């Protein structure tokens, strides 16, 4: 889990400075916005927050339960559990209109650093991945463990600290669970970090309804866009969303943290992969469908560390809605917010596109 430590004193000094460099940065970002997204496959809707109906949290995973019902996990909740939420989206645009959070549903057992969640309609249960214990455990909708869990291969026990299971998804049509680790396993090599600009080499693992491991594929992340030795920059996979046709949307997230917070950003890339087109053990080809960046600078505080993603409803025109949730570190220092965002795309398989620019969030 990436933590954003904000030094307010240093921030105020920089804001008062009002340097010409900052003004130039604003101008260049305006140009980037004008250039954006014409060739992206997806529509990235405006991010929104709902402070009157969603309490401050560390929201790290989300799943759709049908209709307007969702469940969200909080990796710092007092005890293990999940929070039901009602999320209303516009049936034409997919834009998020309202979010209402219910009380935490809990087993009153210790929090396992719960990062991912998926809903299984056949059993009316949820599975929750714990980064601390490396387990993916089933819970009834009253928050009690059922005694079942995914039987994860032994290799997944070999993670770097706090770089284990974050992504978890299930699809009722394909009847497959999917998970992976945030970063490369220790046994598979080094992980990217500041001063080490390398890729993550991840194992995407599927499971059947019998909870036994099925097929495994390699997934290669991008490299860091900013890997200076003095920066605190991290890159990994924080979420996945399994689609009805067997394809998977993978959320790659890069976060740069500066000492003063000014210039910090979170960069999200959504990639489509199709395991059906590969043999188990192959490296999956990936196609970019959407990309955007949020940041903190002299005039903007829209930084959103998106950790959770799920496939939601279809719109009236058949397009697929993806719902994303950000971890605000409990609305750290009153600056960060609990952001929600929807991304909409045509689920009809298409050939890879060339080019494309990421969108600078305004």
| pLDDT tens digits, one per residue of 243-266 | 999 999 999 999 998 888 888 999
* Residue 3 within any structural domain of the chain: no
Q: Is 267 inside a domain boundary? A: yes
Higher pLDDT among residues 98 and 264, named by residue: 98
pLDDT of residue 227: 64
Q: What is the pLDDT of residue 257?
A: 86
Entry pTM? 0.87
190-214 pLDDT, tens digit each: 988 777 889 999 999 999 999 999 9
- Tell me if 2 is assigned to some domain: no
Whether 199 and 221 have beta carbons less than 8 Å apart is answered as: yes
27 vs 124, higher pLDDT? 124
Assess whether pLDDT exceeds 60 at residue 164: yes
Quick check: is 32 in a domain? yes
3-state SS, the chain, equals CCCCCCCHHHHHHHHHHCCHHHHHHHHHHHHHHHHCCCCCCEEECCCEECCCCCCCCCEEEEEECCCCEEEEEECCCCCCEEEEEEEEECCCCCCEEEEEECCCEECCCCCCCEEEEEEECCCCEEEEEECCCCCEEEEECCCCEEEEECCCCHHHHCCCCCCCEEEEEEECCCCEEEEEECCCCHHHCCCCECCECCCCEEEEEEECCCCCEEEEEEEECCCCCCCCCCCEEEEEEEEEEECCCCCEEEEEEEEEECCCCCCCEEEEEEEEECHHHCCCCCECCEEEEEEEEEEECCCCECCCCEEEEEEEEECCCCCEEEEEEECCCCCHHHCCCCEEEEEEECCCCCCCCCCCCCEECC
175, pLDDT greater than 90: yes
Q: Kindly state whether residue 150 falls inside one of the protein's structural domains.
A: yes
Percent of the chain with pLDDT over 90: 70
Confidence band of 40 (pLDDT split at 50, 70, 90): confident
User: Is the pLDDT higher at 1 or at 61?
Assistant: 61
Range of the domain at 107: 8-360
| Domain assignment of residue 104, yes or no | yes
Tokens of 332: 């750290």
pLDDT exceeds 60 at position 67: yes
Segment 101-132, tens digit of pLDDT: 999 999 999 999 899 999 999 999 999 999 88
Query: What pLDDT is attached to residue 229?
Result: 57
Task: Find the CATH number of the domain harbouring 204.
Answer: 2.115.10
Query: Does the residue 1 lie in any domain?
Result: no
Number of structural domains the chain divides into: 1
| Residue 256, C-beta contacts closer than 8 angstroms, at least 6 positions apart | 226, 231, 232, 233, 263, 264, 265, 267
Q: Is residue 356 part of a domain?
A: yes
Measured CA to CA, the distance from residue 29 to residue 47 in angstroms comes to 18
């Amino acid at each position: 889990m990436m933590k954003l430590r904000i030094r307010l004193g240093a921030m105020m000094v920089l804001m008062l400075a009002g340097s010409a460099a900052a003004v130039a940065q604003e101008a260049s970002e305006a140009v980037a916005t004008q250039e954006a997204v014409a060739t992206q496959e997806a529509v990235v809707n405006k991010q929104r927050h709902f402070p009157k109906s969603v309490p401050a949290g560390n929201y790290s995973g989300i799943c759709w339960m049908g209709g307007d019902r969702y469940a969200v996990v909080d990796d710092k909740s007092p005890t293990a559990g999940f929070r039901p939420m009602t999320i209303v989206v516009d049936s034409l645009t997919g834009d998020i209109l309202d979010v209402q959070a219910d009380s935490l549903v809990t087993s009153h057992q210790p929090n396992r650093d719960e990062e991912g969640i998926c809903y299984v309609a056949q059993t009316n249960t949820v599975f929750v991945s714990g980064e601390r214990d490396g387990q993916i455990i089933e819970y009834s909708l009253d928050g009690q463990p059922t005694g079942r869990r995914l039987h994860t291969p032994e290799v997944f026990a070999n993670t770097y600290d706090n770089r284990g299971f974050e992504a978890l998804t299930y699809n009722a049509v394909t009847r497959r669970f999917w998970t992976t680790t945030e970063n490369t396993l220790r046994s598979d090599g080094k992980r990217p970090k500041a001063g080490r600009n390398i890729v993550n080499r991840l194992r995407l693992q599927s499971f059947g309804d019998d909870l036994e491991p099925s097929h495994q594929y390699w997934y290669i992340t991008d490299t860091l866009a900013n890997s200076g030795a003095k920066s605190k920059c991290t890159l990994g996979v924080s979420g996945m969303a399994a689609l009805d046709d067997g394809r998977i949307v993978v959320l790659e997230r890069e976060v740069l943290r500066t000492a003063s917070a000014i210039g910090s950003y979170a960069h999200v890339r959504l990639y489509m992969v199709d395991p059906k087109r590969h043999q188990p053990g192959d490296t999956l080809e990936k196609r970019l469908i959407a990309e955007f960046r949020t940041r903190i600078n002299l005039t903007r505080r829209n930084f959103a560390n998106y950790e959770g993603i799920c496939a939601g409803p279809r719109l009236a025109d058949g397009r697929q809605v993806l719902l994303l949730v950000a971890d605000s570190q409990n609305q750290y220092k009153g600056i960060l917010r609990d952001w929600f965002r929807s991304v909409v795309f045509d689920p009809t398989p298409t050939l890879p596109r060339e080019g494309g620019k990421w969108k600078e969030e305004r």
